[in-house]
Amino acid sequence: MKTRFFAVITIVLFSFVACRPSDDVVEVRYAASDRPTLLLYAYDEAGKAMVAADTIVRGTKLAVVTNKGKEVGEVEYLPLSSEDEVQYFAKISTLSADSMDVVREGVIYARTPASIIVDTATSKIGGQSTKGEELKVLGYDKIDEQGRVNRYKVALGKGEGWLYGKYTVFEKSEAEKRYRSEIYDAKHKAVKNPFGGGEAIGCDFYPYERPVFEDNKMPVSCYSLYLNISPSVIGNIEKYIAFAKRTKINTFVIDIKDNECPGYKAEAMKTYSPTNYARAGANKEKMYQKAVKRLHEEGFYVVGRITCFKDSYLIKDHPEMAITERATGKPFKHNKAYWPSAFDRRVWQFNVELAKEAVRKFGFNEINFDYVRFPDRMTKVENLINYHNKYDESKVQAIQRFVQYACDEIHAVGAYVSIDVFGEAANPGYTTAYGQYWPAISNIADVICGMPYPDHFSNGYYGIRKPWNHPYEILRAWGERVQDRQSITPTPAIVRTWVQAYNVMRHVDRNGIAYDAENVEKEIRGLFDAGLTGGYMTWLSSSNIEKYQQQEGAFCHDYYKEHKKQ
């Protein structure tokens, strides 16, 4: 028995209506089922019993002969109007006159915990499904060519919300299973949780299907320059374009929002964070419009960077979204900034709405989220603060679920998503205190972007004395550990790494080396020699063109092509 897709065939079927007996009453019906596919039937060789003969996708448009129904074994069938040698029948119970009444499941089960959206236009989250949870189906938006539902409308308390069908199954027992537990569970159970970031096994590792946008091609390896929001930087985009065209640079990363440094006056800021809106540049929108337009005209891939869970201006507007002090209830200040809680879905929504607006308004190819984590160095004060953990999640769960939500919503507007993580997240054996578990993030994000700046490693790390003076060795050693992290997630992201483009900080080593073209090149070669071929991004907070020009030689190599020749 084969699967037949009737969606196109039915157009042909109607052309044969004139050949059918004149007393046939042929009407349109749509295949309906509580599963993505359903059966068609035909008489057996004896002509007495109906047997399964073919499979079609629900939603298929059919031409049926409504006045020649058959009852076989107390089941009613209608024949399809067709010139096929085999006469096919469909059960009347699986036919609908309404093209939207084709999804018949009454309940579904959450296989992967996911956000339930109450307003799809604004990505507003109303709830969180839990693994194995039964959900009552109230409707759906659309089905694909395989009959699978894109989003179900489900009951949510006294209301309703939307949940992506890809995170659901039809049987509770199936929903409660972990993905290939015989392979992956032992690997994640072995990961320890010494700093309170959460159990690795609590994350979800079902494969995540990533989109491919025909009109948005990501370079196979991104060679990227970072640009800040200064008018002297993005306002002088032609200077950076001219520089990049002398090199192999094919990508630019432009800030949209950093902590206390918002770019342009976005509508999302006006709605969710008036202080960010007020502090954004009054005339920056035209600057962004011109910069991104020119970069696209010259063939560059353009990434917009947004800092998520470090945002003092958002907390000034909404102190109730903050990580707070238990003793006073006031927002907790860490590292000279206020941190929105990564458990708070309203914070998720603000950053994702800002991202979607930037994609729609300027045409960014990708959104890069930074500070996708909880504050670091918190172990001594952990019991003194309140994270406002509404859904009783671990930190690693909350971070993975934010990445999942952000990818789903931003993919819907045609852009990719990259997530920045500390270089430490590549270490095996434990989950980080701030909630970044590399395999969990890599399993979902389109791109994962480690930040293994050589001067952030302590002396002797990986057995390397003063690693900041040995950029090739430290980046290669780090990259090899990344490969190990990538191997224990079913659908690993592309790895595109931030490289140090600034000189060694004086508090690290007064006599540290300058990061000129030679040393930046060593970093990049260390990554590629470790097999991390997704590209690089330069971290130079000033985006100083003179500094980039001093490093020009590092940007003139096609590292991917050279690596493939080895």
Per domain, the residue ranges of the chain are: 6-96, 107-177, 200-565
Say if CB 308 and CB 347 are below 8 A apart.
yes
Show the DSSP H helices in 106-211 as ranges.
172-175, 181-189
Q: Which of the following CATH numbers is that of domain 107-177: 2.60.40, 1.10.150, 2.30.30, 3.30.70?
A: 2.30.30
Would you state the pLDDT for residue 171?
A: 98
Would you state the pLDDT for residue 21?
A: 61
Considering only CA atoms, which of 140, 143, 106, 165 is closest in space to residue 5?
143
What is the torsional sign of CA 316, 321, 324, 327? positive
Would you state the pLDDT for residue 462?
A: 96
In degrees, rounded to 5, the angle at the alpha carbon of residue 7 between the alpha carbons of residues 4 and 8 is 95
Say if CB 503 and CB 515 are below 8 A apart.
yes
pTM assigned to the model:
0.94
Token pair of 549 as six digits? 């020009």
Residues across the chain:
566
Would you state the pLDDT for residue 20?
A: 54
Q: Kindly state the greatest CA–CA separation across the chain.
A: 96
Each of the 566 residues of the chain gets a pLDDT tens digit; together they read: 444 444 434 433 444 444 556 688 999 999 999 999 999 999 998 888 999 999 999 999 999 999 999 999 899 999 999 777 779 999 999 999 999 999 999 999 999 999 999 999 999 999 999 999 999 999 999 999 999 999 999 999 999 999 999 999 999 999 999 999 999 999 999 999 999 999 999 999 999 999 999 999 999 999 999 999 999 999 999 999 999 999 999 999 999 999 999 999 999 999 999 999 999 998 899 999 999 999 999 999 999 999 999 999 999 999 999 999 999 999 999 989 999 999 999 999 999 999 999 999 999 999 999 999 999 989 889 999 999 999 999 999 999 999 999 999 999 999 999 999 999 999 999 999 999 999 999 999 999 999 999 999 999 999 999 999 999 999 999 999 999 999 999 999 999 999 999 999 999 999 999 999 999 999 999 999 999 999 999 999 999 999 999 999 999 999 999 999 98
Say if CB 36 and CB 147 are below 8 A apart.
yes
CATH of domain 200-565: 3.20.20.80
Token pair of 535 as six digits? 């590209």
Would you state the pLDDT for residue 45?
A: 87
Rounded distance, CA 150 to CA 147, Å?
9
Would you state the pLDDT for residue 226?
A: 98
452-488 residue pLDDT tens: 999 999 999 999 999 999 999 999 999 999 999 999 9
